[in-house]
A = this chain, B = another copy of it.
Amino acid sequence: MTSLATQPLDPSVGPVELTRQLCNIPSVSGDERAIADAVEAMLRDHAPHLSVTRDGDTIIARTELGRVRRVAIAGHLDTVPINENLPVRDTVDPETGEAMIWGRGTVDMKAGVAVQLVLAAELTDPAVDLTWVWYDHEEVSADLSGLGRAMRNHPALFEADFAILGEPSNGTIEGGCNGTLRARVTMRGKRAHTARSWMGVNAIHRAGALLEKLAAHEPERVVVDGLEYREGLNAVGIEGGVAGNVVPDHCSFLVNYRFAPSRSIDEAAAVVKEFFADADEVEIVDQASGARPGLDAPLAQRFVEAVGTVPTAKLGWTDVARFSALGIPAVNFGPGNPLLAHADDERVAISQIEEGAEALKSWLNGAI
């Protein structure tokens, strides 16, 4: 795909105009080279104080000021597929009357990247050392993640005391994230012709009690570092059956457990296995740990003060968990309503871009 924008990126236009320019460089997952090239060129031309490392289409740009603490700030460059929603255009929100930029990537998450790029160029003397990261392949399978790859390839570059991921959070701080785990639960039976069904054992019937238990289950609400995480345990698929005249000997369903970040993956797996103790088999098929919000760290508390709104728990899984896995407390903070992410009428409030840039700048300049 060719770029809609051909001019070099210039951070002096400010985060709002830069949002428009970034969105107009199409960068669907797997096709991030043009935008990564543009970002790298911008840093070379406008941020000579940063030490830049490129890994595929991921760019790591660091200050090396010898500060006591270091903050990592990251955002992904890719978007979900375009659906006749580029180039961006300015619009007014039909519900709130706010001035918006409409189009693919405005929310998830080029407005956040624009804020980061402007501050990366502008903040030559921040109160903490900074590690900026812009990465590829966030909107696809987790094993393709450019952030994960760069962390494996350059672990030393990722040392930090706190991390901020620019995922859309309506300009508030969303702390940590729930973990997610999928398990296949299987019930077995014995085949028989349905004309003589008493000779068999119906595996689909046997699954009924487990589904009933799921239906009656009240997921927990777990408070972690002051934020409430609401869990969820759901069957997301079911299959079973042999033929229209055969008592089935097999029924299995996939469950997705969204668990509070206070639980480890092993603890979450144990919860699921105990819940389905009556099943014939419970197989964990994939999992990703959650991330504690880390809001008890002094650095985080002053960031909360700078932003000025009450932090909430992030429920979906995000890359903050990758920082958390490195022992770095991490939060989500970015412009845009997360409910509009991936929507065809994705749009971001211009005020959220401006306010987000101000809050982050104020904190990094000395409120830390």
Task: Name the B residues within 8 Å of A196 (CB-CB).
Answer: 232, 315-316
- Say whether A205 contacts B215, CB under 8 Å: yes
Question: In the bound complex, do residue A215 and residue B241 qualify as a contact, i.e. CB atoms below 8 Å apart?
Answer: no
Q: How many copies does the complex hold?
A: 2
Instruction: Please judge, given known A-B contacts A198-B230, A258-B194, A258-B195, whether A204 and B238 are in contact too, CB under 8 Å.
Output: yes
Contact (Cβ within 8 A) B204 A208? no
B232, A237: Cβ atoms closer than 8 Å: no
Shortest A329–chain B CB gap in Å is: 21
Residue contact A241 to B238, C-beta cutoff 8 Å: yes
The answer to whether A4 has its CB under 8 Å from any CB of chain B is: no
8 A Cβ contacts from A211-262 to B:
211-215, 219, 230, 232, 234-248, 251, 253-254, 256, 258
Assembled-state Cα–Cα distance A306/B319 (Å): 82
Within 8 A of B (CB), among A307-346: 315-317
> Given the complex of chains A and B, what is the CA–CA distance between A197 and B259 in angstroms?
12
Assembled-state Cα–Cα distance A29/B24 (Å): 63
Q: Is there a chain B Cβ closer than 8 Å to A80's Cβ?
A: no
Q: How far is the CA of A330 from the CA of B356 in the complex (A)?
A: 83
- Once the chains are docked, how many angstroms separate the CA of A219 from the CA of B241? 20
Shortest distance from the beta carbon of A245 to any chain B beta carbon, whole Å: 6
Query: Across the interface, which residues of B come within 8 angstroms of A195, CB to CB?
Result: 178, 180, 232, 258, 315-317
Q: How would you classify the secondary structure of chain A's contact residues: helix, strand, loop or mixed? A: mixed
- Is A236 within 8 A of B206, CB to CB? no
Task: Tell me, in angstroms, the Cα distance from A246 to B234 when the chains sit together.
Answer: 9
Q: Are B243 and A194 in contact (CB under 8 A)?
A: no
Set of chain B residues within 8 Å of A197, measured between Cβ atoms: 219, 232, 234, 258
**If the complex has contacts A194-B232, A195-B317, are A214 and B208 also in contact, measured as CB distance less than 8 A?**
yes
A214's closest neighbor in chain B, by CB?
A: B205
Flag A167-185 by CB within 8 Å of B: 1 or 0 each. 0000000000010101000
Interface size of A by CB at 8 A reads 48
**At the interface, yes or no: A190 with Cβ under 8 Å from chain B?**
no
Residue on B nearest A251 in the bound complex, by CB: B238
Collect the chain B residues with CB atoms within 8 Å of residue A198's CB.
219, 230, 232
Q: For A258, what are the chain B residues with a Cβ–Cβ distance below 8 Å? A: 194-195, 197
Asked if A194 and B236 make an inter-chain contact with CB atoms under 8 angstroms apart, the answer reads yes
- Do A244 and B256 have beta carbons less than 8 Å apart? yes
The answer to whether A140 has its CB under 8 Å from any CB of chain B is no
Is B247 touching A236 in the complex (CB atoms < 8 A)? yes
- Nearest opposing residue in chain B for A218, CB measure: B198
Is A202 an interface residue, CB under 8 A from the partner? Answer: yes
- Give the top 7 A-B pairs by smallest Cβ distance, nearest first: A208-B211, A237-B241, A197-B232, A205-B215, A208-B212, A195-B316, A204-B235
User: Given A205-B234, A208-B208, A236-B246, 16 more contacts at CB 8 Å?
Assistant: A182-B244, A194-B256, A195-B258, A195-B316, A202-B235, A204-B236, A204-B238, A205-B235, A211-B211, A235-B241, A236-B242, A236-B243, A236-B248, A238-B251, A239-B239, A244-B256
- Can you report 25 residue pairs joining A to B where beta carbons are below 8 Å apart? A178-B195, A180-B195, A194-B234, A194-B236, A196-B232, A197-B232, A197-B234, A198-B219, A202-B234, A202-B235, A204-B211, A204-B214, A205-B234, A205-B235, A207-B208, A207-B211, A208-B209, A208-B210, A208-B212, A208-B215, A235-B248, A237-B242, A241-B254, A244-B256, A245-B256
